[in-house]
Every structure is written in C-alpha cells, then in structure tokens.
Amino acid sequence: MGATHLPSTEFDGTEVDDQLEAEAEAAMGEPDAQMVQLLGPDGTLGSDPVFSEYAEKLDAGKLRGFYADMAAIRRFDQEATALQRQGQLALWVPLTGQEAAQIGSGRASQPQDYIFPTYREHGVALTRNVDLSELLRQFRGVSNGGWNPKDTNFHLYTLVLAAQTLHAVGYAMGIQRDQKLAAASDPAGTEPPAAVMAYFGDGASSEGDVHESMVFASSYNAPVVFFCQNNHWAISVPSAVQTRVPLSNRAKGYGFPGIRVDGNDVIAVHAVTEWALEHARSGKGPVLIEAFTYRLGAHTTADDPTKYRLSSEEDAWRAKDPLARLEVYLRAAGLADDAFFEQVKADGDELASYVRRTTHDLETPDIRAAFANAYVESHPLVAEELAWFEQYSAGFEEAAEGAAH
C-alpha cells in the first residue's frame, strides 16, 4: 500500500492553481489505486502514515468487541433470513460480508452524532443500541419503522434509494446552525459538537439525490460524512457500470476529501471513520468514505444472485472474510482464546433465539391497514383497489373450501 492520500479541499485558504495541482498529483503518484488497509486478508496488521495513530488507540477489549459485534450481526442476519424463508417476514435485506464496514464505522461514531441509514445497516443499528428485534417489525409489515430514532440518534430505514442523503445534509445544516447559536450563548462549549453520517450503496451513488446532497454539503461546509458501502452489486448491476473511477474520487469534484478504505478491514474502517467524523465535527466540512467490500448473499431474499454473477467471484471474496481475518489476528496476538470464541458463538445463538421468539410474538400483519393509511381521507381509487383485493382474497377462500369438500 502506498502512503495515504487525503485530498485537501478548495476552501481551505490555499490558492487554487490547476498546474500546481497537476504537478502535485504527478509527484504523489496516481491516487486512484490507493486504498487504506491496516489488517490484511491474512490477518497481518500493517501500518499507515495517517491512520495507524487511530488504530493504536484500540485496546484488546475494543478489538474483541469488534469481533463480537460482527459475529452477532452475522448470526442475526442468518436468523432473519431463515424467518423470511419460513414466512415470518415479507422480505429481508442481508448484510453478510459487510460486517466490518458497518461495525467499524458505527463504533467510530459518538452518541451525539446522528445516523441516516438505508435499509441494510443492521450492524450500525447494533452499535447504536437499537433493539435488533425492532428492525424486523418493518420487514414483517406491522410498522412503518419499528423504533424511535430519538432514543438512539439512529434514523428509521429509508427504502427510497438515496433519499436519506438529502435528509442527512439538511439535518447536518441544522446542527451547524444550532451549534453556532449554542456557541454564542455558551462560550465555554459544554455541549460536545456533533456530526451526521449518511449511508448509501454504490448503486445509489448514481442517483441525483447523492449529487445534490454533496453540492449542498460542500457549499455550506456541513458536518456530514457520506459513507458509501461499495459492495460491488446494485441488485444485478456491477459497480463497474456505476462508475469508471473509484467512487471516493468523486469527492474531489465537490471540494472535500474522499477516502477509499478496505471495507472488510474493521480496524481501518474504524480509523478512517473516526478521522472523518472528527474532521466534520471540527468545522472542516464533509468527507466521503468509500468502503470497498462485497455483498456475499442476495440483494434481498427476493433476489437470486446466481443469475448475474459467478460463484468464483463470491469464493474470491469469502477469502477476504472480515471475521476470519480479525480472528486470525486476535489469536496470533494472544488477545483471544477458544473460550472467547465459544462465548461469542453462544451469545449469537442466544440473540437468534430472542429474535425468533419476539418475531413470532408480533401481531399478524393486516394488509388492509396499508389501504387505510394511504391517504388521510378516503380516496375512490384506493377504495376500488381494496375492493379488488377483497375479491381476489375471497377466491382463495372459496378454492380452499371446495378442496375441503
């Protein structure tokens, strides 16, 4: 790995000169291929001139905690997938393969920070102390959310692709103004500064909402970190179709730093995110992080990835498993033993049992409620659609009664 290249913004007081910038790029080498990595796929810990300082602050307890978190959320993901296959959930969005990107970034945030997820950030939810069983209420169809965002500063899942990036920048601009007012009335600064983090995928990066969000974030120097989980597949479209250059390079066009990090390296992800959040909180403006990772499973349980990608590609990424590489490091460094890993497995099974039990205890969803909640007042088109649904449903009941006789 080459030295980490953190591009400066065009708003840091330095004179902009295209020729000087080009010369600097030539001297540093092409930054496109650079990616921050501290813990390699073989479990060997390397170094970085910028981010090793952050990694060195992680003690054995925190590293074990990273592993326990990743193992717990993978076990939760497996259980939720099984619940959907058994008809307990209408849909599920797996995250297996992306545990390091989510746990590393989530654990780098502070309680006062506010998180805007998409619909796959189950690991981030864990780090924000969201009861994981509450995530399943939406996917069972009994709630439009499932938890109160004010309790954890973790927003409700956003199913509309990239819409949350606009919400995040607006919220960050609000924080920015609130903190200016607070500074005027409280010069001592007793309230800690806050930042916002917005998650999205490589597919969502092509949405206009992301572009508009970054324009506003840059123009107003908003305290927001854009966290892109590049898992290589936007449903069936590969990331190579979404962009011809690393997604992190796009930040340069908006005038703020962009960093590509090995998204399967939980230590590097944590270090990069901690740096980015500090950058945002200190008034230096937004940052784009591209976590280079892989979705090992399906996009959702309604998807069949064998239709659009090769099993050899999946096998190559399984060799980069974020849990396996951290386990190798913990064992080699003498930071964890068999008893620890056995306890992690037992804790994961206990979590799965809790999630299964609470899901079965949820009320049976009534699709008629969706018709009732479409508009505040009754609407003739919705009434027509409900009548059709009632007739359609009655057909199954009649068929069942006929078969019984």
Q: Are 105 and 227 in contact (CB under 8 A)?
A: yes
* Choice between 198 and 183, residue whose per-residue pLDDT is larger: 198
Q: Are 321 and 99 in contact (CB under 8 A)?
A: no
Burial tier of 21 (Cβ tally within 10 Å: 0-12, 13-18, 19+): middle
Residue 258 host element (H or E): strand 258-262
Domain boundaries defined on the chain: 18-361, 368-404
Alpha helices in 153-254 (DSSP H): 163-185, 208-219, 239-242, 250-254
Is the per-residue pLDDT at 21 higher than 90? no
Taking residues 59-71, what's their average pLDDT? 98
CATH classification (class only), 18-361: alpha beta
pTM of the model: 0.89
Is the per-residue pLDDT at 4 higher than 60? no
Is the per-residue pLDDT at 185 higher than 60? yes
Of 30-34, 49-53, 372-376, give the lowest mean pLDDT range.
30-34
**Do β-strands 233-234 and 237-238 pair in parallel, antiparallel, or remain unpaired?**
antiparallel
Taking residues 251-273, what's their average pLDDT? 97
Return the pLDDT at 6. 59
Q: Write the Ramachandran bin of 8: left for phi over 0, alpha for psi from -120 to 50, otherwise beta.
A: beta
* Catalytic residue positions, numbered: 295, 299, 308
Cα 208 to the chain's mean position, in Å? 19
Angle at 213 between CA 207 and CA 216, to 5 degrees: 145
Return the pLDDT at 69. 98
Q: Are 275 and 258 in contact (CB under 8 A)?
A: no
What's the DSSP call for residue 16?
P
Taking residues 296-319, what's their average pLDDT? 96
Is the per-residue pLDDT at 364 higher than 80? yes
Burial tier of 339 (Cβ tally within 10 Å: 0-12, 13-18, 19+): exposed
Is the per-residue pLDDT at 17 higher than 50? no
> How much is the mean pLDDT over the chain?
91
Burial pattern 356-387, b for ≥16 Cβ within 10 A else e, equals beebeebeeeeeeeebeeeeeeeeeeeeeebe
Alpha helices in 265-379 (DSSP H): 266-281, 311-318, 322-332, 338-361, 368-372
Is the per-residue pLDDT at 30 higher than 60? no
Kindly give, in sequence order, each residue whose CB lies less than 8 Å from that of residue 43, ignoring residues fewer than 6 positions away: 324, 325, 326, 327, 328, 329, 332
d(CA 127, CA 154): 10
